[in-house]
Amino acid sequence: MTVSDLQLTHLYRGKVRDLYDVNDTHMLMVASDRLSAFDVVMNEPIPEKGRVLTALTNYWLTSMGSDIPSALVTCDPAVIENFVPGFNQATPWHGRSMLVRKATMIPLECIVRARLAGQAYDEYVVTGTVHNMPAPVGLRLTDAFAAPLFTPSTKAEEGHDLNIDLATAAEIVGLDTLKEVSSLCLELFRRAASRLAEAGLILADTKFEVGYVDGQLVICDEVLTPDSSRLWPAESVVAGEVPPSFDKQPFRDWLAAQPWDRTPPPPSIPNEVITTTSQRYVAAYENVTGLSLSDWYGRG
């Protein structure tokens, strides 16, 4: 049995994930080893990346409690087999597949920021605002906000997402929905940041995707992974300096130093950069969870 023998209908190919139809209420979400940066997919895959993204998402969603609802059903190949006959033999997808409930998605990228970094820092330097909203004067790179901020962006079908303020987000989804979404995302961020702090890690920011399943708001897609989050070792963070990280920012920094205009085709990634990036993804999983990736489904 191979992956192609499963005869699933391919619904969507994203920068990293592929979605397949299972039945009227379920989909299979498969995380590849593709690497995206500056909205461009690199030519070279990063070994173990898809397993890390899936394993971390499973870790967070299964450890947060029932009051943080999600679309995830299972990542266990034996359980997926009950929905997708033959999946138990489709070993290339083991450890990188999530059986999820279909959701009506909220058309926002739901970003929560506890520290000034990334696009928020770039905007702040120029305008003194974060997502077009006023921010305290005198903040430095990596400085903490008084409390985590819900800072949404649009979800662009093509091109770049646009950072927006809360008033604009309310115009898109409605004020009541915005309050419900921000409350859920801020609570999940608070719990994750607290748990990571106990391990000596700072959750600087992260991006959630949410939707409705049977009228209930749920967390969808990947959760608190190196692709969707900035995660820093607390002891190494110095205000005003770029910190070391377990996310893919170091790869972005390498890529930004290349003679490339950020349009396809991307530059070739040297083997040593591929290896280092793969090791950083694995380290992210193992440092966050205290578990070994070799124990996760799909190990070679």
Q: How many residues does the chain have?
A: 300
Two structure tokens written together for 294? 């070799």
The enclosing domain of 178 has a CATH number of 3.30.470.20
* Parallel/antiparallel/unpaired status of strands 133-134 and 129-130: antiparallel
Segment 38-64, tens digit of pLDDT: 889 999 999 999 999 999 999 999 999
Residue 25 CB: number of other CB atoms within 10 A?
Answer: 12
Q: Are residues 191 and 245 in the same domain?
A: yes
Segment 102-139, tens digit of pLDDT: 999 999 999 999 999 999 999 999 999 999 999 999 99
* Closest to 112 (Cα-Cα) out of 225, 206, 230, 238: 206
The enclosing domain of 12 has a CATH number of 3.30.200.20
Q: Give the full edge-to-edge strand order of the sheet including 9-13.
A: 9-13, 17-21, 26-31, 97-101, 72-74
- Mean pLDDT of the residues in the chain: 94
| pTM given for the model | 0.93
CA 66 to chain centre: 21
Q: Is residue 296 part of a domain?
A: no
Number of domains within the chain:
2
Segment 198-238, tens digit of pLDDT: 999 999 999 999 999 999 999 999 999 999 999 999 999 99
- List, as own/partner pairs, every contact residues 85-91 make where C-beta atoms lie below 8 angstroms and the sequence separation is at least 24, other chains included: 86/1, 86/5, 86/6, 87/6, 89/1, 90/1, 90/2, 90/3, 90/5, 90/6, 91/298
* Host domain of residue 86: 3-102
